[in-house]
Each structure stands twice: as C-alpha cells, then as structure tokens.
Amino acid sequence: MRPMDLPLIPSFHPATIRQGLSLEERCQIAEAAGFSYTMVNLQEAVAVDGERGAGAFAALLAGHGLSAGGMSGVPASTADPEEYARDLAALPERCEMARSLGGSNIMHFVPNRSSMPEAEFEALTVARLADIGAVLADFDLKLAIEWLGPKQLEDLPYPFRSGIKMALDLADASGRSNIGILVDPVHMWGARQAMADIERLASGRVFAAHFDDFPEGDPDVLIDDDRIMPGDGIIDLTAFCRHTVAAGYSGSIEVELFNPAIRLGDPVEVSREAREKSEAVIAAALG
C-alpha cells in the first residue's frame, strides 16, 4: 500500500527542524522532503493574507504542493486576561482561515503544571474551552485538546492532571460537543497511558494526532527535548497507530520533534528522515 493510501499520513512540523526559518523556507523544505501536508499556524496564515492579499497563504502552500494538516491558533489556557481576550476576538478570522484551507480541527494545549492551584486552573480551563468551543462551532470546527505527558515545566508550582480521561473530563465539563482530543505517543507514554485507552476511552473523539518517539529512559526524567525519530525508540507506535485509527481518526499526523541535536542537521535531510521513518512505521502497523 502506498503511503498516501494509508489512513495516517505524515505531516511536516517546523518544530522538528532548525528554528528561525521563514514561512517560504519552511514550505520549500517540506516540499523538498516529500511531505504533502504541513502544520499550519493560523495566526501566521491570517497575517500573510493581511500583508499580501486574500488567498496568499493558500496559494503559497499550493505552490509547494502542500495541503494544510494540523492547525494551531486558539487562545492559550495559560494566557493572561488581556492576551486571552485579544486572541478570542481574533479567533473568528482564524476559523475562517481554517475553513478556507480545508481544516476540520484546531489543537489546544493543556499543560500538566500551572501557576495556580489545580481547582482554580481547571475552572479557568473549562471556562476557556467553553468560549473557544462555541466560536469553533460557528464554523463547524472541532477543538482537539493536547495534554502534556512528560514531567516538565518544573518551574511552575502546581501540578495538574494529565491523560485522556482528564482531557475528556475537561471537554465534557465545557458543555461543548465539538471538543475532543489530540493523541501524541510521547504524551501517552509520559502519562503512563496504555495505547489501547485511545480506542477504549476516546472512540469517536480523536480529532488530531502527532507522531514521535522516546529513547530508553526514566519516564520521570525524559522531556520534549528528548524526542527522537519515530521507530528509533521504545514507544509501541504500532499499537498507537492501530488504536488511533480504530478510534475513528484518519488524516494527517504531524511529526513533531523538539530535539536540539536533531535540529542541528540539514533541515531537508532531517525532514525527509522524519517522513520516511514515519511512513515505514505506519505502513508496518496499518499496511
């Protein structure tokens, strides 16, 4: 089976490569590495159209043979009140952009530590999810909660829960039916969550996915910077792929690595390796 015929298709994510590159450079790299999808920052996309004219961002992607994959751009759960209000006011325009690019969901990150006690942070997060979900619903878009699995952000004083149940509990408490989850192998592993739980707990509610791996090590020590190429580590990515698809998800899967050592490599070569290794793992699991 060809990679494009599989239910999960690797998507370019700029977090994997050297930072500080322009949008044009990133698109060129994604194309040269053989990707057909790319992660989209909706705030950036709206800014491009504002500077260059309506449709400029879509034309740039199309010119490099790219389609929009996963998307970011909703207000952060940790934003201060002014930043949150500003981003919420800008959200309808970002949702319009998402729809124009063929998007169906936008991700929202919830950390496992915060600057406020758990109950207070949970109440704030639920209220913000309700706000964001309501705006997205007006555009027939879904919100995908990405939780943090690895133990990091240790500079923040208060721990917060992690995992599939936590994310779905927040979604349910918001009262918005268009909120589900984003699944990520590293976050599953860091939260000590069984891959079978994706299908068991979240069938029909997986709206987005990332792809990555971890080397051998202590779950209490490894962090995002330790991510490695899919298939090079110890996470059961075969089970991850199978349970993600069984839960009802298909589409782009962003290869998102933050490893500083990997970022030192040639961006095209790193990106091509990320795509090829991801395709090999997915094909072995689902082909």
46-60, 174-188, 213-227: least confidently modelled range: 213-227
Residue 3 pLDDT > 70, yes or no? no
Q: Is the confidence at residue 106, as pLDDT, over 90?
A: yes
d(CA 227, CA 140): 33
If one counts the domains in the chain, the total is 1
Q: What is the pLDDT of residues 251-264, one digit of tens each?
A: 999 999 999 999 99
- Interior/surface letters 271-286, b for 16+ CB within 10 angstroms, e for the rest: bbbbbbbbbebbbebb
Q: Which residue would you say has higher pLDDT here, 16 or 221?
A: 16
- Average pLDDT (109-125) is 97
- The phi, psi pair for 105, rounded to 5°, reads -150, 160
pLDDT at residue number 220: 85
Buried b (16+ CB within 10 A) or exposed e, 176-186: bebbbbbbbbb
Confidence of residue 87 (pLDDT cuts 50, 70, 90): very high
Q: What is the pLDDT of residue 5?
A: 85
What was the pLDDT predicted at 24? 98
Residues 120-130 as b/e (b if ≥16 CB within 10 A, e otherwise) read ebbeebbebbe
| H, E, C per residue of 217-280 | CCCCCCCHHHCECCCCCCCCHHHHHHHHHHCCCCEEEEECCCCHHHHCCCHHHHHHHHHHHHHH
Mean pLDDT of all residues in 216-223:
90
Domain, as residue range, for 57: 3-286
Q: Predicted confidence band at 287 (pLDDT cuts at 50, 70, 90)? A: confident
Mean pLDDT, the chain, rounded, equals 97
Residue range 53-76: mean pLDDT, rounded: 98
Mean local confidence (pLDDT), 257-282: 98
Residues in the chain: 287
Global pTM exceeds 0.85: yes
Nearest of 190, 281, 217 to residue 244 by alpha carbon: 281
CATH of the domain at 219: 3.20.20.150
Measured between alpha carbons, how far is 136 from 246 in angstroms, rounded to an integer?
25
Using an 8 Å Cβ cutoff, are 234 and 213 in contact? yes
Percent of the chain with pLDDT over 90: 95
Strand-pair partners of 193: none
pLDDT at 43: 98
